[in-house]
A and B are shown apart, each in its own frame.
Chain A
Amino acid sequence: MSQDTLFDKVWDLHKVSRLPGGSDQIFIGLHLIHEVTSPQAFGALKDKKLKVKFPDRTVATVDHIVPTDNQSRPFKDNLAEQMIETLEKNCLEHKIRFFNIGSGNQGIVHVVAPELGLTQPGMTIACGDSHTSTHGAFGSIAFGIGTSQVRDVLATQTLAMNKLKVRQIWCENKLSNGVYAKDLVLHIINKLGVKAGVGFAYEFAGPAINALSMEERMTICNMSIEGGARCGYINPDEETFSYIKNKLYAPNNEHWEKAVTWWKSLKSNEDSIYDDVIKIDASKIEPTVTWGITPGQSIGINQQIPLLDELSPNDKLVAEEAYEYMSFKPGQSIKDIPVEVCFIGSCTNGRISDLRIAAKVLKDKKVSKNVKAFVVPGSEKVANKAKQEGLDQIFKDSGFQWREPGCSMCLAMNSDKLVGNQVSASSSNRNFKGRQGSPTGRTLLMSPAMVAAAAINGKVSDVREFIS
């Protein structure tokens, strides 16, 4: 059993009681909600005649269903309009802070909370979305929950949970040029597998992690869940503190020093005990691309799609399903596979640094005529910053469509969808069958820089050839 890790400290601090069944009742410091997984929870509160216990500890935005072309109200899609109206009504009725479209602070919930300084070290954070693990980048314990648990947090500000084990993933050395956080996390998921994290919180640590910016760290923690870990985190450091400082909801001047002292005390101790430790050499990682139907089915840009014999018995069943669904042949190179749609955005890679990197690749270049390319900023703040820096113009000049903020084609709940069996190069987080809106659509996950390179060449390409 782990001891003295950040996870242990934050868990123990938030433990309210041991429940009769044996699980722990955990206080939730920050609850984030959106339009998809909250309406039924508010409905259940009404049925049970309950109130929201701590309305100040819940914050709402709208992201999954928002159109990214025309956001004027009412939305063209009646169901989408009904969902945003329901959220507006619920927030008003229960006095919950809501960052609506046009507020300047709307966007993907996991982009918005950090940029407002709501996400802070040492908090427990829950949201009805599996990518809540993103917030672990700040040294918080953050995890996705279902709608019944959203109801429980609204009603009690607590959850019944079993404590997780802790696996440290120690990343040695540094990522090489043209290799990004996305490549590192895809590589980790490939090495450990998509279910290795079940029952664990992942602590990402080591020199390669320490060298990452906060936005890159969010990319890493965001995809913990793709490796099966509901929660992933990174110990807070000076990088963390300077990111938070002066944000809208950051501790104010009077409390700042006290906050930083407390945050420092939360780090895993030098001699803390882990349930498991894994080592990864970050310097050996190449730009990485998925070829299959799980985020674990990835290879380096210069590698070939694995042969069935090269895979472990456990991986063979899904590999066979993937060859058939993707219409790729075992042994085929991933490089040069034609792509028809290029998508830059999502809670994994829709932040300003992602847009900067992609724009750098695209500057003075044109998107291949066979490709439909679009960029969806992660939030209104990201969009505004990108415009200030002229990035929107670089994207538009290259042939990318510049859209309004939202989740968009990461999960295709709005009108941004693949058509038929189109192949997309996507900076998002899931390549599941049908994930991007077409039951036969095919998704190749990669870093935003790699998506930009694929857009220019009309095929999977090595971004290092563009930035050398």
Chain B
Amino acid sequence: MESEFTPPIGKISQITGKCISLIGNDIDTDRIIPARFLKCVNFDSLGKSVFADDRKTLNGSHPFDLKENQDSSILIVNSNFGCGSSREHAPQALIRWGIRAIIGESFAEIFYSNCIAIGIPCFTLSKKSIQNIQKHNINKSLFLEIDLKNSTAKSKDININLEIKESTKKMFLSGEWDATATLLENSSLVERKFKELPYVRFI
């Protein structure tokens, strides 16, 4: 899978794929990618180490190891997913494993903004809806077609209204999630702002 990795580029309006459910609240970024894998100067080899310790403990029965979950691209999680460390290595490991969108009850703030910055839309749903999807997904595989513009996810027998912040949605639809170019456009405003700040003259 890693050799095939191509990062998302430009406008993102649709994500289609198989769901993988991961049950648990407060799953932190140390669990998504343990610190020893952060000893690297690029993100290239992170995909295979995603959830390394949890997977080792479960000895083959972790959702990311189950045969039926291979090639999944939509991750279904519970509450406060991605809490803790700001390491972008966490969403970088997920995207390199194959995850292109996440649907959850709630997300930790830095993890959420890191996901935006690398092109992984995160959607929220009520606890009950997530549990229903996870229950359904455990018994049989679930393919979803996510339409960002209408904030919907559809399958043969499911039709879900997803929640996503309006500003975040706009960023994906316009391609602005890759923020550098947009920020660079205001270069002269940035220089003016710099000169206005009292503390730059204090030294």
A307 near B: Cβ within 8 Å? no
A434 to B84, CA, bound (A): 13
Q: What residues of chain B lie closer than 8 Å to A249, measured between beta carbons?
A: 203
Q: What is the minimal beta-carbon distance from A347 to any residue of chain B, in angstroms?
A: 12
A54 to B200, CA, bound (A): 12
Q: What residues of chain A lie closer than 8 Å to B168, measured between beta carbons?
A: 21
Q: What is the minimal beta-carbon distance from A93 to any residue of chain B, in angstroms?
A: 14
Residue pairs across A and B with Cβ atoms less than 8 A apart, 25 shown, are A13-B197, A20-B176, A21-B171, A27-B190, A29-B197, A39-B41, A40-B88, A54-B194, A79-B40, A120-B202, A122-B199, A146-B117, A147-B89, A149-B117, A158-B186, A162-B165, A194-B26, A198-B107, A228-B80, A252-B202, A412-B35, A432-B84, A434-B30, A434-B53, A437-B35
Q: Per a CB cutoff under 8 Å, which of B31, B91, B190 touches A53?
A: B190
Taking a contact as CB atoms under 8 Å apart, the answer to whether A144 and B41 are in contact is no
B69 near A: Cβ within 8 Å? no
A317 to B105, CA, bound (A): 14
Residues of B within 8 Å of A, CB-based: how many?
Answer: 67
B114 near A: Cβ within 8 Å? yes
- Whether A148 touches B39, Cβ cut-off 8 Å, given contacts A23-B167, A255-B201, A434-B31, is no
Q: What is the minimal beta-carbon distance from A186 to any residue of chain B, in angstroms?
A: 16
Q: What is the minimal beta-carbon distance from B151 to any residue of chain A, in angstroms?
A: 16
A80 near B: Cβ within 8 Å? yes
Binary per-residue interface labels of chain A (226-265) against chain B in the complex, 1 for a CB within 8 Å, 0 otherwise: 1010100000000000000000010110010011001000
| Interface stretch of the complex, out of B12-20, B154-162, B177-185 | B177-185
Taking a contact as CB atoms under 8 Å apart, the answer to whether A120 and B189 are in contact is no
A36 near B: Cβ within 8 Å? yes
Q: What residues of chain A lie closer than 8 Å to B41, measured between beta carbons?
A: 39-40, 43, 82-83, 86
- Whether A262 touches B186, Cβ cut-off 8 Å, given contacts A50-B180, A144-B110, is no
B79 near A: Cβ within 8 Å? yes
Taking a contact as CB atoms under 8 Å apart, the answer to whether A432 and B30 are in contact is yes
A53 to B31, CA, bound (A): 35
Taking a contact as CB atoms under 8 Å apart, the answer to whether A36 and B38 are in contact is yes
A64 to B174, CA, bound (A): 37
Q: Per a CB cutoff under 8 Å, which of A16, A64, A259 touches B193?
A: A16
Taking a contact as CB atoms under 8 Å apart, the answer to whether B202 and A148 are in contact is no
Q: What residues of chain B lie closer than 8 Å to A21, measured between beta carbons?
A: 167-168, 170-171, 174, 176
Taking a contact as CB atoms under 8 Å apart, the answer to whether B36 and A156 are in contact is no
Contacts A252-B203, A434-B31, A434-B53 given; 10 further ones with Cβ under 8 A?
A: A25-B183, A39-B42, A43-B42, A147-B89, A149-B113, A149-B114, A152-B179, A156-B184, A255-B201, A430-B85
Task: Report the nearest B residue to A56, measured CB to CB.
Answer: B200
Residues of A within 8 Å of B, CB-based: how many?
Answer: 85
Q: What residues of chain A lie closer than 8 Å to B56, measured between beta carbons?
A: 439
A181 to B172, CA, bound (A): 42
A255 to B70, CA, bound (A): 62
Taking a contact as CB atoms under 8 Å apart, the answer to whether B87 and A195 are in contact is no
B164 near A: Cβ within 8 Å? no
A130 near B: Cβ within 8 Å? yes
Q: Most chain-B CB neighbours within 10 Å: which of A29, A50, A435?
A: A435
A201 to B126, CA, bound (A): 24
Q: Per a CB cutoff under 8 Å, which of A48, A129, A146 touches B180?
A: A48
Closest 4 CB pairs of A and B: A146-B88, A146-B114, A251-B202, A148-B117
Taking a contact as CB atoms under 8 Å apart, the answer to whether B80 and A195 are in contact is yes
Q: What residues of chain A lie closer than 8 Å to B39, measured between beta carbons?
A: 65, 77, 79-80, 83, 413
Taking a contact as CB atoms under 8 Å apart, the answer to whether A14 and B179 are in contact is no
A145 near B: Cβ within 8 Å? yes
Q: What is the minimal beta-carbon distance from A241 to any residue of chain B, in angstroms?
A: 13
- Whether A318 touches B88, Cβ cut-off 8 Å, given contacts A21-B171, A228-B109, A434-B34, is no
Interface residues of A in 187-207 (CB under 8 A from B): 194-195, 198-199
Q: Per a CB cutoff under 8 Å, which of B166, B170, B184 touches A155?
A: B184
Binary per-residue interface labels of chain B (28-48) against chain A in the complex, 1 for a CB within 8 Å, 0 otherwise: 101100111011111100000
Q: Per a CB cutoff under 8 Å, which of B88, B199, B203 touches A37?
A: B88
Taking a contact as CB atoms under 8 Å apart, the answer to whether A144 and B86 are in contact is yes
A360 near B: Cβ within 8 Å? no
Q: What residues of chain A lie closer than 8 Å to B34, measured between beta carbons?
A: 434, 439
Taking a contact as CB atoms under 8 Å apart, the answer to whether B83 and A194 are in contact is yes
Q: What residues of chain B lie closer than 8 Å to A50, measured between beta carbons?
A: 180, 184
A136 near B: Cβ within 8 Å? no
Taking a contact as CB atoms under 8 Å apart, the answer to whether B182 and A19 are in contact is yes
A199 to B108, CA, bound (A): 9
Binary per-residue interface labels of chain A (1-31) against chain B in the complex, 1 for a CB within 8 Å, 0 otherwise: 0000000000001101101111101010100
Taking a contact as CB atoms under 8 Å apart, the answer to whether A413 and B203 are in contact is no
A294 to B57, CA, bound (A): 19
Taking a contact as CB atoms under 8 Å apart, the answer to whether A27 and B193 are in contact is yes
Q: What is the minimal beta-carbon distance from A333 to any residue of chain B, in angstroms?
A: 25
Taking a contact as CB atoms under 8 Å apart, the answer to whether B25 and A130 are in contact is no
Binary per-residue interface labels of chain B (85-100) against chain A in the complex, 1 for a CB within 8 Å, 0 otherwise: 1111101100000000
A79 to B42, CA, bound (A): 12
B106 near A: Cβ within 8 Å? yes
A428 near B: Cβ within 8 Å? no
Taking a contact as CB atoms under 8 Å apart, the answer to whether B199 and A259 are in contact is yes
Taking a contact as CB atoms under 8 Å apart, the answer to whether A412 and B190 are in contact is no
Taking a contact as CB atoms under 8 Å apart, the answer to whether A16 and B88 are in contact is no
Q: What residues of chain B lie closer than 8 Å to A199, measured between beta carbons?
A: 109
Q: Per a CB cutoff under 8 Å, which of B35, B40, B203 touches A411?
A: B35
